[in-house]
Amino acid sequence: MGAQVSIKKCQDYSYDQVYRAVKEGVDLLGGMGSFVSTGERVLLKPNFLVGRSPEKCVNTHPAVVKAVAQLVLETGARPMIGDSPQMGSALKVAEKCGVAEAARELGIEIVEFEPVDVKHPQGKCFKQFTVGKVVLEADKIINLPKLKTHGLTFLTLAVKNVFGCIPGIRKAQWHVRTAHKGSAYFSQMLLDLYTLVNPVLSITDGIVAMQGKGPGFGDPHDLGLIISGTDALAVDAVITAVLGLPPKRFPTLKVALNEHYDTARLSSVNVLGEPIDKVTAHDFHFPPEITEMKGLIKSILGFLKGPLTTHPCIDTKLCRQCNNCVEACPLHCISAGEGGFAINSKECIQCLCCMEVCPHGAVDLREGALLKLFKHQKK
């Protein structure tokens, strides 16, 4: 039997509805008892990007986290909740996004990710990672992504959510390590990390998704779905189909298909619950695609990087000079000037860490002048 993915409708975040949709979706996959056992320590890994209220659609909604935790408790297993935000602690983000309150109601611990090195011989390209110690110590991991757009990876779904298993600032270091070969290389890193973390379930919060300027300041989109699966790649394949996106336009799936990961093919996925064609979103707004330079072209035409690529820029009218972007930038190419903060586009590796951590939505994507001209001529 191939990978299984279930789709269940859920119109809002009232807890009874969420619990019912999550339970029915997991039951279609065999029930929570098929994945976790009495006495096991189970890490629930939500998306804790930054500390914002649930209405902002930035993090996995507390009702979804609570519902999954309740199902785990009902099996006799011992759930805990953890993630590693780019800045700050998991507990601080959990307090602001409402998950900490849900955890207290159920008597569940919020855990921080203490870094530990681990070898991964099965990785196709990347054979060693630094991850949270608890990621290795947990008996089982349940992945709880938020369905969102993302400036760098186009979407941030189930596979991308495991990137949070890398503690804090070390995520930015991975952007530096992979930047010279482009987004495909970063996607391969995500796939290798996913096979290391190996969650037993991925349950996606797609009740109110984020579209447009993700992952931190996009717009809400009422999708009304909980999408769960035994394989994160299969979940991502189903979600892209629901959004009407060709898989080759989603970097992670494109790499997975090229590298012959079987579960990346929708035809190999057994979809349960709602049929995809009955829940397809026809008006979902995607982010602009990143245009990048790499390899020989970058070496020869590096001086034209700004005009020829899509790169982040700072809107000085929205910027409050909180310094988050300066601290998050792995190459320290953001500085303060007379007109406010500015990004050196020649040094920028387009990792968009600045966009992720800005609490004011002041970082946006801008197309270079030559790129705009080429696109206009193409039209």
Per-residue pLDDT tens over the stretch 233-247: 999 999 999 999 999
pLDDT for the residue numbered 297: 44
pLDDT for residue 254 is more than 90: yes
Topology alike, domains 4-278 and 295-378: no
Category of 248 on φ-ψ map: left (φ > 0), alpha (ψ -120 to 50) or beta: alpha
pLDDT for residue 136 is more than 70: yes
Tokens of 76: 């006799």
pLDDT for the residue numbered 1: 56
Q: Which fold has domain 295-378?
A: Alpha-Beta Plaits (3.30.70)
Average pLDDT of the chain is 91
Task: State pLDDT tens for residues 140-177.
Answer: 999 999 999 998 899 999 999 999 999 998 999 999 99
Q: Looking at the DSSP assignment, which residues form a beta bridge with residue 156? A: 148
E strand spans, 83-236? 110-111, 115-119, 128-132, 140-144, 146-150, 154-156, 201-211, 219-229
Q: Residue ranges per domain, the chain?
A: 4-278, 295-378
Q: d(Cα 145, Cα 45) in Å, to the nearest integer?
A: 8
Higher pLDDT pick, 368 / 314 = 314
pLDDT for residue 212 is more than 70: yes
Task: State pLDDT tens for residues 50-93.
Answer: 999 999 999 999 999 999 999 999 999 999 999 999 888 999 99
Q: How confident is the model at residue 180 (pLDDT cuts 50, 70, 90)?
A: confident
> Cβ contacts of residue 337 below 8 Å, gap of 6+?
none
Q: d(Cα 82, Cα 134) in Å, to the nearest integer?
A: 9
Q: How confident is the model at residue 368 (pLDDT cuts 50, 70, 90)?
A: low
pLDDT for the residue numbered 369: 59
Task: State pLDDT tens for residues 321-339.
Answer: 999 999 999 999 999 877 7
Q: How many helices (H) and strands (E) does the chain have?
A: 15, 16
Higher pLDDT pick, 152 / 224 = 224
Q: How confident is the model at residue 299 (pLDDT cuts 50, 70, 90)?
A: very low
Q: Which fold has domain 4-278?
A: Rossmann fold (3.40.50)
pLDDT for the residue numbered 227: 99
Q: What is the mean pLDDT of residues 273-301?
A: 76
Contact 168, 138 (CB under 8 A): no
pLDDT for the residue numbered 377: 53
pLDDT for the residue numbered 300: 43
List the Cα angle 226/227/231 in 5-degree steps.
150
pLDDT for residue 8 is more than 80: yes
- Per DSSP, helices labelled H in 164-265 are 170-179, 183-197, 232-242, 251-258
Query: What's the predicted TM-score (pTM) here?
Result: 0.91
